[in-house]
Chain A
Amino acid sequence: MKKIVIETLYPEFNNLYGDRGNVLYLKKKLEKSGCEVSVIQTGLFDTPNFINSKTDFLYIGPCQEKQQLIELERLKEIKPALEERINGGAVTFASGNAFELFGEYIELPGGEKTEALGFFPYHAERFSRLRYNDCSVGEFGDMLVTGFKNLLSFSYGELPEPFLKMKKGAGMNKKCGFEGVCKNNFFATYHTGPLLALNPQFSEYIIKLIDSEIEVLPLSYEKQAYEKRIKELL
């Protein structure tokens, strides 16, 4: 039996909006496909597992705005390890405002800037009041990926390797037709919520990246839910 290790970074912060559904889904799906799965929850003051041991899937979810800046300071301390992981092609998935951590900086409504990890040439600007909600559909290769967004900021700048070409809903900001990052096997998206549970096709792709030998078995209702949503949204 294949052993798969999933790690969630900082779940005490990164647990908004049903994002826990991503790991919950992946675990269920891998188990159904015959794998033994262990999930490691790494707290803000713990040393991440991926630094010293094989970690097949690393997940970073969205958090509250105040917490984002605290988390960023912790991430800066492990920046070389994160960079090595991304360059080395290990599967990593960041969702919601975790996307912003990998850009150049985060700008607060008052103009104050906090330096981010600086892996990619974009930056985030927080809204002063409103939030942005939508249900969107984007293209990833020949796949359609659907998800939700609930954001208090948008990003600007360049996306040399975007994740999705949007068909419905905003990109990394309202004027941009693209969103997210897909570099090697690193995925960052502005989508919040259980993106993997909503997109069986994309999730299968992710599982194949984790281990191409896994024969992915479907869950009972995921395809119907996915097809119905896509049909209604487009």
Chain B
Amino acid sequence: MGKLRFILAIAVGKFSAFILGRVFKRGTNTPGIIMLKICPDALARFKMPETTVCVTGTNGKTGTSNLLTHIIRKSGKTVVNNSKGSNMAPGLASALVTQCSLSGRVKADVAVLEVDERSSQFIYTKFVPDYILCTNLFRDSIMRNGHSGFIFDKINDYLNEKTTLVLNGNDGISGLLGEGVCKRVFFSVDRTSRSTQECEDTVCDLSACPKCSHPLEYEFYHYNHIGSFRCPECGFKLPESSYRASDVDFDADTFVFSGPAGESAVLPFGKNGFFNVFNITGACAVCRLMGIDIETVSESVEDLSAKTGRFDERLIGSAKVTSMLSKNQNPISCSQSLKYLNGEGEKDAVLLITDSNDKAHGHEDISWLYDTDFKPLSGENVKRVYIGGSRCWDLANCLEINSVPTEKLRIFEDYDELASAVSGEICPGRETVIYFELYATRVVSKIKAQIEKTGGKAQ
């Protein structure tokens, strides 16, 4: 009965994927949703590829999954992944159903699946991944994710002893996953010229020892709680890392990747910035564990170094306009993108990061703004800060509390007025940096269109 149900689910899933692909010309979760309706345990019934890798963690999942897919394909293997759908059960089912036989055998050598942290129990209980790479764990969207301990349990409770975990050896939170249960391999980034002695970010999610609660001693911080630490009280520290990134060069944007077999390669980390060093090192570690040779790994990373959809930089007439997608209610990711303002040159910032009308994404709770590091906005090179949307007064209040000079602020409840103001006040030689949430995509396009109309000159 179950088998029949599964075959029916595959047939319907494939058919709906075909139709939807024709009509909407894009990937969607609908085939997976339908499939799981017909056969709730479908994910347990696929005959999975020889190797399955899952990628999870708070930040860097997508970039890491894409890189992994790319390297593995370059090595000559075929890959199925869920890059076109969601990272929850329906997204995975959609990805698998489009590439399986009618009996449910997935037609690929490797599956690379990005997995939402909270979906662990609906996924790892259905099939056992050979590898789970966890990029890191941080505080994230409050309403969806609660706190890092809550998310840790959500993953840790569903791990299987047959899975090898590939963990960030600079992260004392995710670094405890699977302790005593799974085989664990660590990767880490050595001290760089930008490492600090004290945590310079607003929040540090791990300052007390997870074993004995005494203050941890950090040898250095990379950012937030990512760094190298030990507990002077009980001696706790994370295991030695097998895969390492060293010699990070911020002028050339390169670093040296090395592994336990003595293999090493100089790799570029591209425009995505320093976080990409972690993503690349983690992805390379998994590839090496899968037996892909270092030359293939190295060449593949080079191909992909500059691509990202979240960062768009363009010159409109004489105006430089940069826009960055800011992650939903995630103070760490938002703080990191704000650091871009610290770069040289005069800048105007546009913040479209909180709006109570976006109920679908739970923007009503603005608490996360108080965990966000707005220091870069106080820099002398940042001349104006535009704030838009229904919660603009809350954001303005938070900025004032964080000592951002109020003279810089331009506040608009109405997005159209904001768009006109930004485009109308463009200063030659000054870069406009727009931070936006998905709901504000329309506003960003409008600002860009209006700047285009005026040719990037102030009216």
| A residues apposed to B, CB below 8 Å | 12-13, 15-21, 24-25, 28, 43-45, 64-67, 70, 131, 133, 135, 148, 150, 152, 192-194, 197-198, 219-222, 224-225, 228-229, 232
Judge whether B454 is part of the interface by a CB distance below 8 angstroms. Answer: no
Using known A-B contacts A28-B400, A219-B400, determine if residue A18 contacts B369 with beta carbons closer than 8 Å. yes
User: Quick one: which of A16, A66, A135 contacts B364, CB cutoff 8 A?
Assistant: A135
Stretch at the interface among B34-42, B146-154, B164-172, B180-188: B146-154
Contacts of A45 in B (CB 8 A): 213-215
Per the bound structure, the CA–CA distance linking A135 and B400 in Å amounts to: 23
Would A12 and B207 count as touching, CB distance under 8 A? yes
Query: Does A25 contact B369, Cβ atoms closer than 8 Å?
Result: no
**Is B371 part of the binding interface, using a Cβ–Cβ cutoff of 8 Å?**
yes
B141 to chain A, nearest CB (A): 10
A-B contacts, 8 listed (Cβ < 8 Å) = A24-B370, A133-B362, A152-B146, A194-B370, A220-B397, A221-B411, A225-B396, A232-B390
Give the chain B neighbours of A16 by CB distance below 8 A.
Answer: 139, 147
User: Lowest 8 CB-CB distances: which A-B pairs, in order?
Assistant: A21-B370, A193-B367, A18-B370, A18-B367, A225-B393, A64-B149, A12-B208, A221-B396
- Cα A232 to Cα B146 with chains together (Å): 25
Q: Do A150 and B146 touch (CB < 8 A)? A: yes
B420 at the interface (CB under 8 A from A): no
Q: Which of B314-362 contact A (CB under 8 A)?
A: 331, 356, 362
A residues near B449, Cβ cutoff 8 Å: none
Distance between Cα atoms of A70 and B139 in the complex (Å): 20
Alpha-carbon distance A70/B397, docked complex (angstroms): 35
Task: List B residues 95-150 near A (Cβ within 8 Å).
Answer: 139, 142-143, 146-150
A18-B368, A194-B367, A225-B397 known, 17 other contacts, Cβ within 8 Å: A17-B142, A21-B398, A24-B370, A28-B400, A44-B214, A45-B213, A64-B147, A65-B150, A66-B149, A133-B362, A133-B365, A135-B364, A148-B142, A150-B142, A152-B150, A197-B397, A220-B406
Q: Is the CB of B213 within 8 A of A44?
A: yes
* Given A21-B401, A133-B362, A220 contacting B396 (CB threshold 8 A): yes
> With the chains together, A76 CA to B400 CA distance in Å?
38
* Minimum CB distance partner of B368 in chain A: A18
Q: How far is the CA of A76 from the CA of B369 in the complex (A)?
A: 33
Q: Using Cβ atoms and an 8 Å threshold, which residues of chain A touch B401?
A: 21, 24-25, 28, 197, 219
A64, B152: Cα distance in complex, Å: 11
* B210 nearest CB neighbor, chain A only: A66
Where chain A touches its partner, the secondary structure class is mixed
- The closest CB in chain B to the CB of A27 belongs to B401
Q: Which residues of A contact B208 (CB under 8 A)?
A: 12-13, 44, 67
The answer to whether B365 touches A148 (Cβ under 8 A) is yes
Number of interface residues of B (CB under 8 A): 39
Using CB atoms, name the residue of chain A closest to B202.
A20
Q: Mark B213-240, 1 if CB is under 8 A from A, else 0.
A: 1110000000000000000000000000
Give B319 Cβ to nearest chain A Cβ, in Å.
29
Inter-chain contacts of B356 with A (CB < 8 A): 232
Complex contacts, B214 vs chain A, CB 8 Å: 44-45
- Distance (Å) between the CB of A103 and the closest chain B CB? 21
Contacting residues, chain B, for A152 (C-beta < 8 A):
146, 150
Per the bound structure, the CA–CA distance linking A219 and B403 in Å amounts to 11
What A residues does B393 contact at CB under 8 A?
Answer: 221, 224-225, 228
Q: Report the minimal beta-carbon distance from A198 to chain B, rounded to whole angstroms.
A: 8
A131→B368 contact, CB < 8 A: no
Nearest CB of chain A from residue B398's CB, rounded to whole Å: 7
Q: How far is the CB of A19 from chain B (nearest CB, A)?
A: 8
> A43: which B residues are within 8 A, CB to CB?
215
CA–CA, A19 and B203, complex, Å: 11
- When distances are taken between beta carbons in the complex, the residues of chain B under 8 Å from A17 are 142, 147, 367-368, 371
Specify which chain A residues have a CB less than 8 angstroms from the CB of B149 in the assembled complex.
Answer: 64-67
Contacts of A220 in B (CB 8 A): 396-397, 400, 406
Which chain A residues border B367 with CB–CB below 8 Å?
A: 17-19, 21, 148, 150, 192-194
Q: Kindly list chain A residues whose C-beta atoms are within 8 Å of the C-beta of B139.
A: 16
- Chain A's closest residue to B208 (CB) is A12
Q: Nearest chain-B residue to A64 (Cβ)?
A: B149
In whole angstroms, what is the CA distance A133 to B327 when docked? Answer: 20
Instruction: Please report the C-alpha to C-alpha distance between residue A221 and residue B366 in the assembled complex, in whole angstroms.
Output: 15
Q: Which residues of A contact B198 (CB under 8 A)?
A: none
**Given contact pairs A15-B203, A28-B403, A44-B208, A197 touches B370 in the complex (Cβ within 8 A):** yes
Scoring B139, B143, B362, B370 by chain A CB atoms within 10 A of each residue's CB, the highest score goes to B370
Residues in A with CB closer than 8 Å to B411 are 221
Expressed in whole angstroms, the Cα–Cα distance for A43 and B365 within the complex equals 28
Tell me, yes or no, whether B394 is within 8 Å of chain A by CB.
yes
Asked whether, in the complex, the Cβ of B397 is within 8 Å of the Cβ of A133, the reply is no
Closest to B207 in A: A12
In the bound complex, residues from chain A placing their C-beta under 8 Å from that of B397 are: 197, 219-222, 225
Contacts of B202 in A (CB 8 A): 20
Which A residues touch B143, using CB under 8 A? 133, 150
* Alpha-carbon distance A224/B400, docked complex (angstroms): 13
Which B residues between 376 and 411 are near A, CB-CB below 8 angstroms?
390-391, 393-394, 396-398, 400-403, 406, 411
Q: Which residues of chain B come closer than 8 Å to A228, judged between CB atoms?
A: 390, 393
CA distance A150 to B362 in the complex (A): 12
A25 to B398, CA, bound (A): 8
A24/B400 contact (C-beta < 8 A), A15-B203, A131-B146 known:
no
Q: Within the complex, what minimum Cβ distance (angstroms) separates B287 from chain A?
A: 34
B372 nearest in chain A by CB position: A18
Chain B: minimal CB distance from A93 (Å): 16
- Chain A min CB distance to B425 (Å): 21
Question: In the bound complex, what is the Cα–Cα distance between A35 and B81 (angstroms)?
Answer: 58
Bound-state CA distance A44–B362 (Å) is: 33
B450 to chain A, nearest CB (A): 26
Nearest-neighbour CB distance to chain B for A95, whole angstroms, equals: 11
**CB nearest to B233 among chain A residues:** A45
Measured between beta carbons, the chain B residues less than 8 angstroms from A194 are: 367, 370, 398
B283-302 contacts to A, CB under 8 A, are: none
User: Taking A225-B393, A232-B356 as contacts, is the C-beta distance between A20 and B362 under 8 angstroms?
Assistant: no
State in angstroms the CA–CA spacing of A222 and B367 once bound together: 14
Interface centre among A20, A135, A148, A197 (most CB of B within 10 A): A197
